Amino acid sequence: MNKVFLWGGLRPAAGGAEFVEIEALTIRELLRKLAELHPKLETLIDSEVAVSINGTIYQDDWSKNIPADAEIYLLPRIEGG
């Protein structure tokens, strides 16, 4: 079971939760289960979310494996210049 921390902008769509506990092996599985748990997050997950696993930010690749006990943060997608 991984603790998945949500940045402040996501929390209103997750009932105010600072984090949720989800068991997932990949980013894809993590995001799917998160949307099932909190359906209001689904549209935000599709367009606005990046996933940080142990400090490395993944903007796109859903195939990444999630190590056991990894620190997971959902962050806004980053725009660059």
Partner 1 sequence: MGKDTLLTDRVFKSVGTRPMRPDGIDKVTGRARYGADHNMSGQLHGSILRSPHAHASIKSIDTSKAEKLKGVKAIVTAKDFKTKGITDPGLLDIIDNCMAGKKVFYDGHAVAAVAAVDAKTAKAALKLIKVEYKLLKHVTDVDEAVKPKAPVINNKCFTKGVDPTPGKASNVAKRSEFGHGNVAEGFEAADVVIERNFKTGQSHQGYIEPHACVASIGPDGAGELWVCTQGHFVFRQQCAEILGLDEAKLKVTSSEIGGGFGGKTHLWVEPVALALSQKANRPVKLVMSREDVFRASGPTSATSIDIKMGVTKDGVITAAEAELRYTSGPYAGSWATLGAMTAFACYDLKNVKTVGLEVLVNRPKTTAYRAPSAPMAAFAVESMIDELADRIGMKAIDMRIQNAAKEGTKSSYGPVYGPIGIGPTLDAAKNHPHMSAPLGPNQGRGMACGFWFNFGGQSCTDLNISSDGTATITVGTIDVGGARASLALVVAEELGIPYEQVKAVIADTGSLGYNEMTDGSRGTFASSMSAIQSCRMAIADMRQRAATLWEIDVDEVVWENGQAWAGGESNSNHPPLSIADLAKSAEKTGGPIAGHAQIVADGAGVSFATHICDIEVDPETGQTRVVRYTVIQDAGKAVHPTYVEGQFQGGAAQGIGWALNEEYIYGEDGRLQNPGFLDYRIPVCSDLPMIDTQILEIPNPNHPYGIRGVGETSIVPPLAAIGNAVSNATQVRMTHVPMSPPRILAAIHAQAASDDSSDD
- Least distance to partner 1 from the beta carbon of 23, Å? 20
- Least distance to partner 1 from the beta carbon of 20, Å? 14
- Least distance to partner 1 from the beta carbon of 40, Å? 10
Q: Are 25 and 64 in contact (CB under 8 A)?
A: no
Residues that bind partner 1 (CB under 8 A): 5, 7-9, 11-12, 16, 47-48, 52, 54-61, 64, 71, 73, 75-81
Measured from the CB atom, the residue of 12 and 39 that comes closer to partner 1 is 12
Strand ranges across the sheet with 49-53: 19-22, 2-6, 72-76, 49-53, 56-58
Measured from the CB atom, the residue of 11 and 33 that comes closer to partner 1 is 11
Looking at the DSSP bridge assignments, the partners of residue 75 are 50
Amino acid at site 26: T
